[in-house]
């Protein structure tokens, strides 16, 4: 089994996605930038207060489901400078 450490993910773009395909491995990624998750991830699990709100393909998630995860607060994106 191959292991590697991923640091500075926002600085290196989609390097973790490339490693995923290069090594044919799954990557569990905790990311709060919804735009990046929807762009690069095949599957998204949305959690609110310890409960799974959404679990499925990124291509099928709706704005209503995203809103349920964030409960009316601003949804983090890379444009927020975080």
Percent of the chain at pLDDT exceeding 70: 70
Q: Where are the alpha helices (H) located in the chain, listed in sequence order?
A: 15-23, 34-40, 63-70
- Quick one: pLDDT at residue 11? 44
41 vs 24: which has the higher pLDDT: 41
In this structure, the dihedral spanned by the alpha carbons of residues 38, 43, 44 and 45, taken in order and rounded to 10 degrees, is 180
Closest CA to 36 of 51, 7, 16: 16
pLDDT, tens digit (0-9, with 9 covering 90-100), for 39-64: 888 899 999 889 998 999 999 999 88
Six-digit token pair at 81? 């400078």
Q: Is 56 helix (H, G, I), strand (E, B) or coil?
A: strand
- pLDDT, residue 7, reads 43
């Amino acid at each position: 089994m191959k292991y590697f450490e991923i640091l500075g993910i926002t600085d290196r773009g989609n390097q973790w996605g490339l490693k995923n395909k290069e090594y044919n491995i799954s990557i569990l990624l905790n990311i709060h930038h919804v735009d990046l998750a929807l762009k690069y991830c095949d599957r998204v699990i949305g959690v609110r207060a310890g409960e799974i709100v959404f679990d499925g393909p990124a291509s099928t998630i709706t704005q209503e489901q995203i809103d349920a995860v964030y409960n009316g607060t601003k949804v983090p994106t890379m444009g927020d400078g975080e």
